[in-house]
Amino acid sequence: MSASNFSTPSTDPSKTDLILVVEDEPTIAEAVRSRLQSEGFQVEVATDGPSAVEMCTNLAPSLMVLDLNLPGFDGLEVCRRVHQYRRVPVIMLTARDDETDMLVGLGMGADDYLTKPFSPRELMARVKAVLRRSESAGTAGPTLKFGAIEIDPTTRRVTENGAELHLTPTEFDLLRALSEAGGAVLSREQLLAMVWGYRDGSGVRTVDSHIRSVRAKLNSQVIRTVHGVGYALDPDAGQAEQATEGASTDEALDTDGPES
Ligand code: CA
């Protein structure tokens, strides 16, 4: 997939971003619509899975705010069908935190997740961050190499020993950020700011979840956990951690959640 398929660039200031809101609960749909419109976005609302796919195909929105539990078929199926044709950034709305964990684990291609209930301010921060990321995603750069792994920022392809890895957009951005740091340790707060665009340090568990899913897709374990600090790329990370205490340091950081 070429970088130009990743999003609809909105560099033309006369063109406002269209956001497709897919939500079957009318009060939530209306609250989200009015907030987005007050921020200057164009908004369309779909209330079930099939119409979401149809509207997404016809309207080519810049972003979808997508409820997980919908009539017809659910948000996962909407994502799957839509992403066959076009890479639309998605913020998935879930009813519970464990639903979010499950979805991140599946690597279903949502760019971010928001658990209900959420504040309009929080939603706006996420929408702007995802749009900012998708607009800069086409930025070209040199191919980055780390051990057997090659990251091409232009095509957004990652290969390991020449075989393509299928990373979600967020997983790609995370691996790219670590790679561009050239082996330096990045804290979870730094990664959150670089990849998700958040500045307030909230949601560091999101970083751990995505690190886990990137690791699961890589054969060589190049992501080193720096206990209590963050993560770094290290070509010998797998060997070093095996030589000391196996994966136990990873587990401690991954399962304990944020440490202050
Ligand atoms: Ca619902």
- The per-residue pLDDT for 190 is 83
Question: Angle at Cα 29 formed by Cα 24 and Cα 31, nearest 5°?
Answer: 155
| Domain-located, residue 250 | no
85-94, 97-106, 135-144: which range is least confident on average? 135-144
When pLDDT is averaged across residues 204-229 and rounded to a whole number, the result is 90
Q: Are 64 and 159 found together in one domain?
A: no
Q: Are 103 and 40 found together in one domain?
A: yes
Residue with tokens 């519970």: 96
Neighbours of 16 (CB within 10 A): 13
Residues 6+ apart with CB under 8 A from 256: none
Cα separation values, 63 from 23, 168, 179, Å: 14, 16, 27
| Domain-located, residue 194 | yes
| Domain-located, residue 118 | yes
Distance (Å) from CA 206 to ligand 1 centroid = 23
- The per-residue pLDDT for 168 is 87
Q: Are 58 and 163 found together in one domain?
A: no
Distance (Å) from CA 51 to ligand 1 centroid = 14
Q: Are 118 and 225 found together in one domain?
A: no
Q: Which of 135, 163, 193 is the last residue of a domain?
A: 135
- The per-residue pLDDT for 251 is 42
Sign of the dihedral defined by the CA atoms of residues 123, 126, 129, 135, in that order: negative
Q: How many Å apart are CA 98 and CA 113, to the nearest integer?
A: 11
Q: Which of 135, 161, 189 is the last residue of a domain?
A: 135
Distance (Å) from CA 67 to ligand 1 centroid = 6
| Domain-located, residue 12 | no
Q: List the shell of residues around ion ligand 1, using CB closer than 5 Å.
A: 24, 67, 69
Distance (Å) from CA 65 to ligand 1 centroid = 12
| Domain-located, residue 252 | no
- The per-residue pLDDT for 116 is 93
Burial group, residue 28, by CB count within 10 angstroms (0-12, 13-18, 19+): middle
- The per-residue pLDDT for 117 is 93
Q: Which of 85, 110, 135 is the last residue of a domain?
A: 135
Q: How many Å apart are CA 181 and CA 186, to the nearest integer?
A: 8
Looking up residue 55, the CATH number of its domain turns out to be: 3.40.50.2300
| Domain-located, residue 32 | yes
Q: Are 34 and 91 found together in one domain?
A: yes
Distance (Å) from CA 208 to ligand 1 centroid = 27
Q: Are 42 and 126 found together in one domain?
A: yes
Looking up residue 209, the CATH number of its domain turns out to be: 1.10.10.10
Average pLDDT of the residues of the chain = 81
Q: What is the pLDDT of residues 38-71, one digit of tens each?
A: 999 999 999 999 999 999 888 889 999 999 999 9
Is residue 169 very low, low, confident or very high in pLDDT (cuts 50, 70, 90)?
Answer: confident
Collapsing DSSP to helix, strand or coil, 52 comes out as: helix
The number of folded domains in the chain is: 2
Q: Which domain holds residue 106?
A: 18-135
Q: What is the pLDDT of residues 124-167, one digit of tens each?
A: 999 998 888 777 665 556 788 888 899 988 788 899 999 999 99
Distance (Å) from CA 83 to ligand 1 centroid = 21
| Domain-located, residue 2 | no
Distance (Å) from CA 63 to ligand 1 centroid = 18
Helix (H) or strand (E) holding 63, with range, is: strand 63-67
Q: How many Å apart are CA 113 and CA 209, to the nearest integer?
A: 12
Q: Which of the two residues, 197 and 208, has the higher pLDDT score? A: 208
Six token digits for residue 230? 């963050």
Is residue 256 very low, low, confident or very high in pLDDT (cuts 50, 70, 90)?
Answer: very low
What are the E-state strand segments in 109-187?
Answer: 112-115, 144-146, 149-152, 157-160, 163-165, 186-187
Distance (Å) from CA 46 to ligand 1 centroid = 11
| Domain-located, residue 149 | yes
By DSSP bridging, strand 90-94 and strand 63-67 are parallel
- The per-residue pLDDT for 29 is 96
Q: Are 126 and 149 found together in one domain?
A: no
- The per-residue pLDDT for 85 is 67
Distance (Å) from CA 229 to ligand 1 centroid = 38
Helix (H) or strand (E) holding 44, with range, is: strand 42-46
